[in-house]
Structure 1
Amino acid sequence: MTDLLSPAQLEAELRAIGTRLYHDQHPYHRLMRDGRLTRGQIQAWALNRFEYQRSIPLKDAAIMARMHDPALRRIWRQRIVDHDGNGEGEGGIARWLHLTDALGLDRELVLSGRGQLPATRFAVNAYLHFVSERSLLEAIASSLTELFSPQIISNRVSGMLRHYDFVSRDALAYFDHRLSEAPRDSDFALDYVKRHADSVEKQQQVLAALHFKCGVLWSQLDALHLAYVADPSVRWPDAFVPDDARAAA
């Protein structure tokens, strides 16, 4: 990339990255969507994904702390409210815990982080370091995976309700909220990136930031696929073991 892209061209490049690398393309997601995972494999996904979910407000707080414009902070802080809520039992984190409860996972186990795969923690920490250490523009650009989340949410929810009798619409309430929150957030972030990536170097950084974030999400599913589908014999000894896996042992 040697020439400055127009805002429309930059958006097209960003969307091309998501089309190719977003984790809706991952085998684990496709197995989940198509009803080919066991209840225990769904539990393992929800338990590990919680580490990412509860780190989203930490990520957004780290980004917001670097914003000198109060107007920008006022817009960005809504993301924290969306996940933390305005009170106990509200927000996206609480709704994710409602999902893990509905799947039969012990809440203390979920909250403790015990049982999650090491790669889950490493991926989430890498993302937190990225948004804290890179430029504000790169940090905001890394959030642009939200451009692609409504489609994966629609496919995931419809597939899970169709194929799994242990999953209810109420248990999946987290995703209903994200269908309106994610487009609002991604529209703002995309506009910000298109206006502020005003050099070839900055545009390269923006594209690399989205590429990195897709890798963060993909790597979490890589770990789940290896540990719970491809070869459970190599699973981390302290990782969550589903009841159906114990019964089969």
Structure 2
Amino acid sequence: MTATDHRTGTSPEELVARLRAHARSYHSLHPFHLRMNQGTLTPDQIRGWVANRFAYQEAIPLKDAAILANCPDVAVRRRWIRRITDHDGTAADGPQSGGIEAWLRLGQACGLSREEILDRRHVQPGVRFAVDAYVTFARTRPWVEAVASSLTELFAPDLMAERLAAFERYYTWIDGDGLQYFRNRLVQAPRDSEHALEVVTAHCHTIAEQDAAEAALSFKCDVLWAMMDAIDHAYT
């Protein structure tokens, strides 16, 4: 089908099934991630993953701000903005709140200093390129496509549960308080993906719109996989 195909697409239920099928290309199946959950990574490999992944964590509010800037729907904006405060924290909650701060605490629990995480000295070029590509996508593509790209969150709860269990079982040298980011996402990811699915199914009715939404999710899966490739190459 072409990008100008305005024929009616599949039902919302069928569209959701198509989107969920992309779980097979989610980065949870990357060899590096499989080794992580099997408990075979070294401390240096864990630290390398944490330091590089911070580049992505830091970019999430930028991606969400781009979606807000392009979104004309006030109801969507009112709900979507919570994603930014989830990651940046709020003044009311204090300077130690938010997902970015929680990831920094994870890095410290792994033996990294805040300085070396924040100055990005460990971030690999491939990771930087993938993260920049994702933010650019959110800024330049139609806002509904950018929302669809966030639907990797559909697969995140299972990933987070497996990751948390693996870290608690195999990587006991990491202070358990540093794992709070994973615990938070067990609650946040289902809530966020439910909203994103509502948006996509409400706005994607034609074949072209549904194909674009699916392509956006596929692109995001590629972004996460490319990051893992770069990390795997650097630390394995």
TM-score by length of 1: 0.89
Structure-2 residue corresponding to 1:155: 162
Q: Is the 8 A contact 1:161 1:168 kept in 2?
A: no
Question: What value does the CA root-mean-square deviation take over the aligned residues?
Answer: 1.1
**2:147 corresponds to which letter in structure 1?**
I
**1:84 corresponds to which letter in structure 2?**
D
* Structure 1 residue 22: Cα displacement: 0.5
Structure-1 residue corresponding to 2:117: 110
Q: Is the 8 A contact 2:126 2:230 kept in 1?
A: yes
Residue 74 in 1 paired to residue 78 in 2? Answer: yes
Take 1:192 and 1:113, find their aligned partners in 2: how far apart are those partners? 34
Structure-2 residue corresponding to 1:26: 30
Structure-1 residue corresponding to 2:19: 14
**1:148 corresponds to which letter in structure 2?**
F
**2:21 corresponds to which letter in structure 1?**
A
Take 1:187 and 1:74, find their aligned partners in 2: how far apart are those partners? 15
Percent identity between matched residues is: 49
- After TM superposition, the structure 1 = structure 2 runs for residues 73-222 of structure 1, keeping only pairs within 5 Å, are 73-87=77-91, 88-222=95-229
1:36-60 deviation digits (Å, cap 9, x = unpaired):
1000000000000000001100110
**2:213 corresponds to which letter in structure 1?**
V
| Aligned mate of 2:50, from 46, 50, 59 | 46
Structure-2 residue corresponding to 1:37: 41
Take 1:193 and 1:182, find their aligned partners in 2: how far apart are those partners? 16
Structure-2 residue corresponding to 1:245: none
Q: Is the 8 A contact 1:95 1:173 kept in 2?
A: yes
* Structure 1 residue 106: Cα displacement: 1.8
Take 2:187 and 2:67, find their aligned partners in 1: how far apart are those partners? 22
**1:193 corresponds to which letter in structure 2?**
V
**1:11 corresponds to which letter in structure 2?**
V
- After TM superposition, the structure 1 = structure 2 runs for residues 221-236 of structure 1, keeping only pairs within 5 Å, are 221-229=228-236
Take 2:76 and 2:19, find their aligned partners in 1: how far apart are those partners? 22
Take 1:67 and 1:24, find their aligned partners in 2: how far apart are those partners? 30
* Structure 1 residue 69: Cα displacement: 2.4
Take 1:52 and 1:107, find their aligned partners in 2: how far apart are those partners? 16
Q: Is the 8 A contact 2:145 2:212 kept in 1?
A: yes
Take 1:132 and 1:42, find their aligned partners in 2: how far apart are those partners? 31
* Structure 1 residue 80: Cα displacement: 0.3
Q: Is the 8 A contact 2:153 2:189 kept in 1?
A: yes
Take 2:163 and 2:175, find their aligned partners in 1: how far apart are those partners? 13
* Structure 1 residue 71: Cα displacement: 2.0
Take 1:13 and 1:167, find their aligned partners in 2: how far apart are those partners? 38
Alignment coverage as a number of residue pairs: 228
Q: Secondary structure at the match of 1:65?
A: helix
1:172-193 deviation digits (Å, cap 9, x = unpaired):
0001111111111100100110
Deviates most, 162-171 or 196-205: 162-171
Structure-1 residue corresponding to 2:65: 61
TM-score by length of 2: 0.94
* Structure 1 residue 169: Cα displacement: 2.5
Take 1:32 and 1:38, find their aligned partners in 2: how far apart are those partners? 9
